[in-house]
């Protein structure tokens, strides 16, 4: 009875602090976003972008501090990439729960460029969040737009960070994190380069290139599945 009450209180406190942190950071983000939208001047947008990135990094810092301070969760990570805060990289990661996101942010914030996710174009109309995502330069993808993104990335991509996340104690959600029920999270990272024969190809219009790219990506996911199984069976370090 008492342990259940403590768990509920931890969950409520964690959710409250997460919400408060988000409100405190998203309010200035929205104000700056309005300036960025109404004053499309290069110098103004650069200043806005600098402030927005600082706020985003600060939001992640506070969330990461909460995770370190309010939980006993141990994150075991191997292959952490060298710092590259100003480069262009793509993160390929398996996804099992919403816990994946704060874990990745805690490990990579200020080490790699600010982490963004591909969003459906319709999400730009979500109240409040749509404006914040737009201001933070999240890519909004229309139907069929993935091919264009892959083409663009092939020309400017510095590196690929391949991430595999495993939860040895079983599936976990954010409430489990707040309740201090997650003992271990295992994260394996490796830094890759896009194979030379895939550089500069036309994913949208070249069927052979598209097939080769998909074969490379499928092999990557097969390797990740095998790695995750070995991570789940490994003993704590």
The sign of the dihedral angle between the CA atoms of 104, 15, 60, 67 is negative
Which has the closest alpha carbon to 185: 170, 163, 171, 166?
166
Cα–Cα distance between 137 and 131 in angstroms, integer?
Answer: 10
Please give the model's pTM, rounded to 2 decimal places. 0.84
Tally of domains in the chain: 1
Per DSSP bridges, beta strands 140-141 and 159-166 are unpaired
Say if residue 154's pLDDT is above 70. no
What percent of the chain shows pLDDT beyond 90?
40
* Containing structural domain, residue 153: 2-233
Q: Which of 2-6, 39-43, 202-206, 217-221 has the lowest mean pLDDT?
A: 2-6
- Comparing CA positions, the residue from 123, 120, 115, 122 lying closest to residue 145 is 120
């Amino acid at each position: 009875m008492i342990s259940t009450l403590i768990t509920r209180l931890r969950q409520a406190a964690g959710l409250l602090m997460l919400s408060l942190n988000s409100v405190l950071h998203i309010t200035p983000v929205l104000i700056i976003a309005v300036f960025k939208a109404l004053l499309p001047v290069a110098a103004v947008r650069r200043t806005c972008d600098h402030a927005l990135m600082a706020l985003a990094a600060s939001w992640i810092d506070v969330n990461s501090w909460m995770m370190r301070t309010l939980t006993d969760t141990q994150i075991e990570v191997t292959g952490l990439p060298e710092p590259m805060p100003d480069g262009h990289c793509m993160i390929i990661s398996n996804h099992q729960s919403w816990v994946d996101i704060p874990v990745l942010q805690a490990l990579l914030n200020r080490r790699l460029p600010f982490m963004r996710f591909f969003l459906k174009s319709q999400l730009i109309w979500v109240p409040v969040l749509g404006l914040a995502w737009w201001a933070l330069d999240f890519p909004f993808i229309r139907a069929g737009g993935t091919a264009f993104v892959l083409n663009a990335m092939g020309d400017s991509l510095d590196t690929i960070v391949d991430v595999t996340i495993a939860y040895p104690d079983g599936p976990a959600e954010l409430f489990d994190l707040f309740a201090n029920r997650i003992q271990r999270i295992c994260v394996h990272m490796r830094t890759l380069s896009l194979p030379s024969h895939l550089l500069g190809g036309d994913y949208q219009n070249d069927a052979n290139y598209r097939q080769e790219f998909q074969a490379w990506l499928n092999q990557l996911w097969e390797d990740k599945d095998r790695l995750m199984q070995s991570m789940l069976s490994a003993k704590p370090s």
